[in-house]
């Protein structure tokens, strides 16, 4: 009898333990598209335990009570509550899209790459996005400018960097890197004009060099765009506005709903755009984009995606004009000195991606991509400073084929009490074959007077990384290491052939977050990054580092001070081993000194009511040459203060509107601050009426018609009437008041 009683007690204890601690599994998907949802928060109703879905939408959660329920939440989706039934039952949870609800947002130890996911999802839901440039400006503190007509990649300013067209900010689309190495116009050139904004479903970004899966050019930040795998609905949109501006966009589903339910989808999208701009000399800027994506499930565990795109653009440009020419009345601020500036560019891309779920915890991803690219730019910044007879017209040109591979293996190891260890290993390769990389002095842009640079470039890179992320209760630890090897070869047509050169760089990363509760989180980030230099510079190697390193540190906080208020703030520091100065007129690079940048970031998102929202971002930065004497240690064009914000209205009946603004303080244009680039304050207005089958809208840029300067540089130039060259500010005028109407139909 005593023996039976003992056995009964043991069995009761085991049974009780089974009911007191259970593990449930599940997958969270979008109800409309059936696509997996990453970073959805799964919270047990009767305990403090939480889980977060991975990129496949999978989660595991340990429950402490037999009758627990779970809450599933994600910004932009309606909160769901499910009762839990059988032990270890797997759930498929389809979430329905809904309005942004900041009250339901809780702060969780999200993966390192998703540090700003909450702010980004709020912004994507609130902002009217009409271009790839609008998408880039969603990154708090990032500003853009344009200096050679609408067809060239935008100039990026971020965290005290004049990042040129991408030298210190890496950009990718669907995990394909966009920064073009050894580009004829600028190292890391990232042209996003081929991206149709309506197709972008997510933007992931990270500030600083703290991310193992992002290497070259990730010193100040990275931006990763993701296009839709499945169209929610087909759409045709027409837009028209001032300055002979017109746009036609169409995105069409090619397969029916039944095929999408079976894991197969395909769509095609296209865009035509034209504008003359506000200039006296019409830009005639035209652009044509074509984009298509096909997705199919080859098996329950394997998914194939094929993406094809092509893009072509042609434009004329008034270029930068000297400030003195406007002040003296020689030309208007919309005028020009050289009427033969402009260019054309084209890009065709193919991406093939194969994802295999080896198990619900193991994933293997393989991606190959190919790009054929052409670029031609005619420009003139100095006019007659070097050649008083023929002028200083320059031409930059190149044609390239780019081949690449990305591979990633991920393993989610779920431990006791919802502890998770995620291991990620990656491997990447890229080859750039550049033909006819040219900088030449030309007359009438057809007659070559002499070549300044001319040759072929072959540059290839190999990288690997390992990242270990451990989530335990309130703590998140992320330790990573990355190794990059870069090989440079420049076949110089003007000088003896240089031998190939290669260099390897290792980049460690450490990120720690402590989530005190679901209202406040503290984090610190440490890491080493780098940007590569142009192969032509590496060949000359005149005191210039091949892979100058960047060392960074962030200390920050995510905080919900009130239920409807979400805030992020950080103190940060960046140190660069070497800055470079590029002179586009003679194609030379000058080795610079060590530099440091330090600053404060602050962002806030506030929900006044269920239909009225506000955002506010401000960034303070001090950027200095660490080796130059005080007073001569300014970093030209580094932005000391930048701020942006707005109010956004979303009513249930379909009316939505937004007023946004951005402010930039004046900044040094020279290292002694003797010349300054003027600041600006701009505001835009959008209003739309959106129903299930159609949308009509109005967009106004520069609502108060501010007179501002877009691109601004210190340039030594000479007009034909001047006896000698003059050191002055040259600029392109910023867009005046501009109104545009749009009409879209959905089906």
Could you give the count of Cα atoms lying within 13 Å of 299 in the half-sphere of its Cβ? 8
Tens of pLDDT, residues 561-578: 999 999 999 999 999 999
- 464 lies in some domain: yes
Calpha distance 226→197 (Å, rounded) = 10
What pLDDT was estimated at residue 728? 96
Q: Where are the beta strands (DSSP E) in 626-677?
A: 641-650, 655-664, 667-668, 676-677
Which residues are CB-contacts of 258 (< 8 A; sequence separation ≥ 6)? none
CB-based burial label for 434 (10 Å; 0-12, 13-18, 19+): buried
Q: Is the domain of 56 the same as that of 155?
A: no
* pLDDT band, very low/low/confident/very high, at 64 (cuts 50, 70, 90): low
**Residues 422-431, mean pLDDT to the nearest whole number:** 98
Q: Using the 8-state DSSP alphabet, how is residue 494 labeled?
A: S
Residue 98 has pLDDT above 50, yes or no: yes
Instruction: Supply the range of the domain harboring residue 259.
Output: 129-746
242 and 345 inside one domain: yes
Residue 350 has pLDDT above 90, yes or no: yes
| Same domain, yes or no: 634 and 707 | yes
Across the range 427-450, mean pLDDT stands at 94
**Cβ-proximal residues to 551 (8 Å cutoff; 6+ apart), any chain:** 209, 527, 528, 574, 575
**Which residue shows structure tokens 């702060």?**
107
697-712 burial, b at 16+ Cβ within 10 Å, e below that, comes to bebbbbbeeeebbbbb
pLDDT digit string (tens) for 369-417? Answer: 999 999 999 999 999 999 999 999 999 999 999 999 999 999 999 887 6
In sequence order, what E strands does 48-199 have? Answer: 50-52, 58-63, 69-73, 80-83, 90-95, 143-145, 155-158, 161-162, 169-173, 176-177
446 shares a domain with 307: yes
Helices (H), 52-210: 117-126, 132-136
| CATH number for the domain harbouring residue 252 | 2.40.170.20
CATH of the domain at 71: 2.60.40.1120
User: For residues 460 and 703, what is the distance between their CA atoms, to the nearest angstrom?
Assistant: 47
Answer yes or no: do 96 and 145 share one domain.
no
Question: What are the distances in angstroms from CA 650 to CA 77, 101, 117, 539, 671?
Answer: 15, 12, 21, 56, 46
**Contact call for residues 37 and 74 (beta carbons, < 8 A):** yes
Q: Could you count the other beta carbons within 10 Å of the beta carbon of residue 68?
A: 17
Mean pLDDT of 452-473: 96
Domain contains 122: no
In a domain, 378, yes or no: yes
User: Given this model, what pLDDT does residue 584 score?
Assistant: 54
Local structure of 17: helix, strand or coil: helix
Number of domains in the chain: 2
Among the listed ranges 23-27, 107-111, 323-327, 489-493, which one has the minimum average pLDDT value? 23-27
Looking at 82, 113, 144, the residue that finishes a domain is 113
Asked if residue 717 is part of any domain, the answer here is yes
Per-residue confidence (pLDDT) for residue 45, from 0 to 100: 67
Kindly state whether residue 608 falls inside one of the protein's structural domains.
yes
Q: Give the lowest-confidence range in 272-276, 324-328, 410-414, 683-687.
A: 410-414
pTM: 0.93
Alpha-carbon gap, residue 383 to 390, rounded angstroms: 9
Q: Which two tokens stand for residue 103?
A: 């009250």
Which among 593, 559, 598 is positioned nearest to 579, based on CA atoms? Answer: 593
Residue 180 carries which DSSP code? B
Residue pLDDT, tens place only, 178-225 = 999 999 998 999 999 999 999 999 999 999 999 999 999 999 999 999
Rounded to whole angstroms, how far apart are CA atoms 490 and 500? 7
The whole-angstrom separation of Cα 350 and Cα 289 is 14
Q: What percent of the chain has pLDDT over 90?
A: 78
Q: Last residue of a domain, which of 86, 113, 140?
A: 113
- Residue 49 pLDDT greater than 80, yes or no: no
Name the band, by pLDDT with cuts 50, 70 and 90, for residue 588. Answer: low
- Give the phi and the psi of residue 43 in degrees, each rounded to 5: -120, 130
Are 678 and 691 within 8 A, CB to CB? no
pLDDT range class, residue 90, cuts 50, 70, 90: confident
Residue 118 lies in a domain: no
What's the number of CA atoms in the CB half-sphere (13 Å) around residue 154? 20
- The Cβ of residue 608 has, within 10 Å, a number of other Cβ atoms equal to 11
Element holding 569 (H helix, E strand): strand 565-576
DSSP characters over 223-256: EEEEE-SS-SS-EEEEEEETTTEEEEEEEEE-S-
What's the N-to-C CA distance of the chain in angstroms? 74
Residue 736 CA to residue 131 CA, distance in Å, equals 18
Backbone angles phi, psi at 199, to 5 degrees: -90, -10
Residue 63 has pLDDT above 80, yes or no: no
- Residue 121 in domain: no
Sign of CA dihedral 504, 505, 508, 509: negative
Residues 339 and 415 in one domain: yes
Q: How confident is the model at residue 498, as a pLDDT?
A: 79
CB 153 within 8 A of CB 189: yes
Per DSSP, the residues of 363-400 read EEEEEEEEEEEEEEEEE-SSBTSS-TTT---EEEEEEE
Residues 646 and 684 both lie in one domain:
yes
Secondary structure (DSSP) of 472-486: ETTEEEEEEEEEEEE
Q: Are residues 701 and 673 in the same domain?
A: yes
Are residues 380 and 234 part of one domain?
yes
Rg (CA), the chain: 27
Q: Are 439 and 584 within one domain?
A: yes
Is residue 619 within 8 Å of 612, Cβ to Cβ? no
pLDDT tens-place string over residues 12-44: 333 344 445 577 888 999 988 888 999 999 988
pLDDT value for 464: 98
Q: Last residue of some domain: 113, 138, 167?
A: 113
Do 101 and 152 belong to one domain? no
Could you give the 3-state DSSP secondary structure of residue 743?
Answer: strand
Determine which helix (DSSP H) or strand (DSSP E) holds 441, and give its type and residue range: strand 420-443
- Alpha-carbon gap, residue 659 to 128, rounded angstroms: 10
Q: Which residues contact 322 (CB under 8 A, 6 or more apart)?
A: 337, 715, 717, 719, 726, 728, 729, 730
In this structure, the chain runs to a length of 747
Q: Out of 442-451, 599-608, 724-733, pick the least confident.
A: 442-451
Q: Residue 355 domain-assigned?
A: yes
pLDDT-based confidence at 543, cuts 50/70/90?
low
Residue 16, judged by CB atoms within 10 A of its CB (0-12, 13-18, 19+), counts as: exposed
pLDDT score for 582: 64
Q: Mind listing the pLDDT tens digit for each residue in 631-653?
A: 999 999 999 999 999 999 999 99
Residues 64, 180 within the same domain: no
Structure tokens at 7: 């056995």
- Three-class secondary structure of residue 13 per DSSP: helix
Is the predicted pLDDT of residue 114 greater than 80, yes or no? Answer: yes
Mean per-residue pLDDT of the chain: 91
Which band of pLDDT confidence, cut at 50, 70 and 90, is reported for residue 7?
very low
Check if the beta carbon of residue 619 is closer than 8 Å to that of residue 641: yes
Bridge partners (DSSP) listed for residue 660: 646, 684
- E-strand stretches of 276-331: 285-299, 302-317, 321-322
């Amino acid at each position: 009898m005593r023996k039976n009683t003992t056995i009964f007690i043991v069995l009761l204890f085991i049974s009780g333990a089974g009911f007191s601690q259970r593990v449930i599994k599940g997958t969270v998907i979008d109800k409309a598209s059936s696509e997996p949802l990453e970073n959805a928060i799964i919270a047990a109703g009767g305990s403090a335990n939480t889980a977060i879905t991975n990129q496949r939408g999978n989660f595991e959660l340990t429950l402490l009570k037999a009758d627990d329920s779970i809450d599933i939440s994600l910004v932009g989706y309606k909160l769901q509550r499910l009762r839990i039934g059988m032990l270890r039952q797997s759930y498929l949870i389809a979430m329905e899209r809904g309005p942004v609800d900041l009250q339901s947002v809780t702060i969780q130890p999200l993966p390192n790459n998703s540090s700003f996911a909450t702010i980004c999802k709020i912004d994507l839901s609130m902002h009217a996005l009409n271009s790839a440039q609008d998408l880039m400006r969603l990154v708090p503190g990032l500003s853009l400018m344009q200096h050679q007509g609408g067809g060239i990649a935008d100039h990026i300013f971020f965290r005290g960097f004049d990042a040129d067209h991408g030298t210190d900010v890496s950009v990718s689309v669907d995990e394909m890197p966009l920064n073009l190495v050894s580009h004829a116009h600028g190292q890391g050139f990232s042209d996003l004009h081929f991206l149709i904004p309506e197709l972008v479903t997510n933007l992931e970004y990270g500030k600083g060099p703290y991310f193992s899966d992002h290497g070259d050019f990730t010193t100040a930040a990275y931006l990763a765009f993701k296009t839709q795998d499945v169209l929610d609905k087909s759409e045709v949109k027409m837009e028209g506005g001032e300055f002979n501006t017109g746009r036609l966009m169409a995105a069409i589903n090619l397969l029916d709903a039944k095929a999408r339910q079976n894991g197969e989808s395909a769509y095609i999208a296209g865009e035509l755009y034209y504008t003359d701009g506000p200039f006296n000399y019409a830009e005639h800027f035209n652009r044509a984009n074509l984009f298509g994506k096909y997705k199919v499930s080859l098996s329950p565990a394997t998914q194939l995606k094929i993406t094809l795109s092509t893009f072509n653009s042609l434009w004329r440009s008034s270029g930068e004009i000297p400030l003195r020419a406007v002040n003296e009345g020689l030309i208007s601020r919309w005028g020009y000195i050289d009427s033969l500036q402009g260019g054309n560019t084209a890009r065709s891309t193919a991406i093939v991606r194969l994802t295999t779920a080896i198990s619900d915890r193991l994933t293997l991803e393989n991606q190959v991509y190919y790009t054929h690219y052409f670029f031609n730019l005619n420009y003139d910044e100095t006019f007659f400073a070097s050649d008083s007879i023929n002028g200083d017209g320059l031409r930059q040109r190149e044609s390239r084929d780019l081949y690449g591979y990305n591979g990633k293996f991920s393993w989610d190891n779920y431990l006791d009490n919802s502890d998770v260890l995620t291991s990620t290993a990656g491997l990447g390769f890229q080859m750039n074959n550049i033909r006819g990389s040219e900088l030449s002095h030309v007359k009438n842009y057809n007659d070559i007077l002499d070549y300044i640079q001319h040759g072929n470039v072959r540059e290839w890179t190999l990288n690997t990384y390992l990242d270990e992320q451990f989530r335990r209760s309130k703590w998140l630890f992320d330790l990573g290491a990355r190794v990059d090897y870069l090989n440079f070869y420049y076949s110089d047509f003007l000088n003896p052939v240089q031998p190939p050169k290669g260099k390897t760089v290792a980049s460690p990363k450490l990120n720690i977050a402590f989530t005190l509760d679901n209202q406040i989180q503290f984090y610190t980030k440490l890491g080493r990054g780098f940007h590569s230099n142009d192969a032509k510079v590496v060949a000359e190697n005149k005191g210039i580092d091949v892979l100058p390193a960047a060392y960074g540190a962030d200390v920050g906080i995510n905080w919900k001070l009130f239920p409807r208020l979400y805030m992020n703030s950080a103190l940060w520091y960046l140190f660069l081993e070497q800055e470079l100065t590029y002179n586009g007129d003679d194609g030379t690079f000058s080795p610079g000194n060590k530099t440091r940048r330090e600053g404060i970031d602050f962002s806030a998102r506030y929900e006044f009511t269920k239909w009225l929202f506000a955002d506010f971002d401000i960034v303070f930065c001090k950027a200095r040459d660490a080796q130059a004497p005080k007073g001569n240690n300014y970093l030209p064009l580094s932005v000391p203060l930048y701020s942006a914000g707005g109010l956004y209205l979303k009513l249930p009946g379909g009316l939505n509107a937004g007023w946004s603004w951005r402010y930039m303080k004046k900044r040094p244009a020279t290292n002694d601050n003797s010349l300054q680039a003027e600041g600006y304050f701009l505001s835009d207005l959008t209003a739309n009426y959106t129903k299930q089958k159609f949308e009509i809208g109005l967009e106004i840029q520069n609502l108060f018609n501010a007179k501002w300067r877009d691109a601004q540089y210190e340039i030594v130039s000479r007009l034909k009437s001047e006896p000698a060259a003059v050191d002055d500010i040259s600029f392109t005028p910023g867009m005046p008041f501009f109104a545009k109407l749009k009409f879209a139909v959905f089906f």
